[in-house]
């Protein structure tokens, strides 16, 4: 199986990402998936912890943008109150989606982190671009119907790899 499917890091949640270390390593932008990465699929609002996490990321200096394959209304409704730019209907893993996101955050592939919960969209696309990729365990809750089969295949690709289970860098 291609290593293009494997992330640079695999963590329990976005709150387990060591943002300070990424910044120190020269990362300057975070491009993140929405559904099952930031919140469960279809959840309309950001919980307080997520709002604080985004504020923290920005305070470190990161430019942040959402890159989602979901439709415009869902993505815009979520992103607007947070004040972060977002791309809907992204059709990840297509290159064009990532190019748009990079333009939006004003960064290049070498200093941009792609965060997502799916190997065949978020991670594959990010790796092909040459971005630093972080896989998160899907936020539990509802998932899109077609996702169940994908999860089965993803587990095969991950071959028993487990996410880092340290305490979150960004506690509750």
Query: Residues interacting with Mg ion, by CB under 5 A?
Result: 33, 35-37, 117
Nearest CA among 57, 23, 54 for reference residue 38:
54
Output the smallest distance, CB 127 to Mg ion, in A.
16
* CB contact at 8 A, 138 and 109: no
Q: Tokens representing 156?
A: 């095969």
By beta-carbon proximity to Mg ion, the closer residue of 36 and 107 is 36
In the complex, minimum distance from the CB of residue 68 to Mg ion, in angstroms, rounded to a whole number: 8
Q: How far is the CB of 103 from Mg ion (least distance, A)?
A: 22
Residue 111 or residue 154: which is nearer to Mg ion going by CB?
Answer: 154
Between 60 and 151, name the residue whose CB sits nearer to Mg ion: 151
Nearer to Mg ion, 21 or 71 (CB): 71
Are 28 and 110 spatial neighbours (Cβ–Cβ below 8 Å)?
no
Q: How far is the CB of 6 from Mg ion (least distance, A)?
A: 17
Instruction: Give the residue with the Cβ less far from Mg ion, 63 or 90.
Output: 90
Q: Which residue is nearest to Mg ion (CB)?
A: 36
Question: Residue 97: what are its φ and ψ, rounded to 5°?
Answer: -65, -45
| Chain-centre distance for alpha carbon 6 | 14
- Min separation Cβ 107 and Mg ion, Å: 21
Interior CA angle at 137 toward 135 and 139, to 5°? 125
**Which residue do the tokens 């604080």 mark?**
52
* Cβ(139)–Cβ(40) below 8 Å: yes
- CA atoms of 87 and 121, how far apart (whole Å): 14
């Amino acid at each position: 199986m291609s290593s293009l499917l494997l992330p640079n890091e695999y963590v329990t949640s976005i709150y387990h990402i060591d943002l300070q270390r990424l910044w120190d390593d020269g990362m300057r932008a975070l491009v993140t998936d929405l559904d099952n990465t930031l919140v469960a699929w279809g959840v309309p609002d950001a919980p307080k912890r997520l709002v604080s996490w985004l504020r923290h990321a920005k305070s470190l200096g990161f430019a942040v943008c959402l890159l989602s394959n979901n439709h415009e209304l869902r993505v815009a409704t979520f992103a607007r109150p947070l004040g972060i730019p977002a791309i809907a209907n992204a059709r990840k893993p297509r290159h064009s989606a990532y190019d748009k996101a990079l333009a939006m955050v004003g960064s290049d592939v070498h200093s941009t982190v792609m965060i997502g919960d799916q190997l065949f969209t978020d991670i594959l696309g990010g790796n092909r671009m040459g971005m630093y990729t972080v896989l998160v365990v899907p936020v539990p809750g509802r998932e899109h119907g077609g996702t169940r089969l994908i999860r089965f295949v993803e587990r095969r690709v991950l071959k028993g790899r487990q996410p880092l289970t340290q305490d979150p860098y960004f506690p509750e």
